[in-house]
Amino acid sequence: MSRSLTSASTSPPSPWRHLPNALTLLRMLLVVPLAWMIRESHFNAALLLAALAGSTDALDGWLAKHCGWQSWLGGMLDPVADKLMLVACFLSLGMIGAHPAWLTWLVVGRDVVIVAGAVAYHNLIGRISAQPTRLSKLTTCIQIAYVLAQLVHLTSWIDVPPALLMAAIWLTAACTAASGVQYVVVWSGRALRTRIPENRA
């Protein structure tokens, strides 16, 4: 048994272990062209590019989990890539009037609060690790589904009923607001619990 353990511990790391991070970086690189396509009304191409970005998101997560290629860097880059992609899409869709401006600023404002809080926690408390809650994961899924629904509607491939889009807007807004409040409450409490023992010591 000790021989097998020694062999496993000295085996060279896989040359493919950085593939999930490479896919995440690719998703970041797709942000600008996707936003440009939406602004220029190239909705067919934008939908295909958004689908490609979504597939890289699913693939890098699957590879990291099932191949043991998880890392702190990957855990931080993945949500950043998701936020960049979604913020770019919501801003672009808002600029062409696809949805109300308040929805854009709600989505952007939530992410600004989360990023600012993460930076403050890292500087004042200690190293932070990405730990998305179930509500946060649900919110991301709903936001992605909403963006895809809007792009499908704008391509005119499928006639999405206006009532369905309006329901999607309010569902996205509700989940975004609830997730933002949850982040503030959870991380504020975590910061207080960490600081209080230090002050007592």
Summarize pLDDT for 28-71 with one digit per residue, the tens: 899 999 999 999 999 999 999 998 888 877 766 666 666 666 66
What integer pLDDT is reported at residue 164 of this predicted model? 93
What integer pLDDT is reported at residue 3 of this predicted model? 40
**83 vs 4, 9, 35, CA distance in Å?**
43, 36, 13
Nearest-5° Cα angle at 30, 47 to 122: 125
Q: Which domains are present in the chain? A: 18-200 (1.20.120.1760)
**93 vs 29, 74, 142, 156, 165, CA distance in Å?**
19, 28, 16, 15, 13
Q: Where are any strands of DSSP class E within the chain? A: none
- 189's tokens: 């409490």
Q: Are 141 and 126 in contact (CB under 8 A)?
A: no
pLDDT per residue rounded down to tens, the chain (201 residues): 434 444 444 556 666 666 667 778 888 899 999 999 999 999 999 999 998 888 877 766 666 666 666 665 556 677 788 889 999 999 999 999 999 999 999 999 998 988 887 777 666 666 666 677 889 889 988 999 999 999 999 997 888 888 999 999 999 999 999 999 988 888 777 767 766 555 554
Q: 96: which residues sit within 8 A by CB, 6+ positions away?
A: 38, 39, 41
Q: Are 35 and 89 in contact (CB under 8 A)?
A: yes
What integer pLDDT is reported at residue 12 of this predicted model? 61
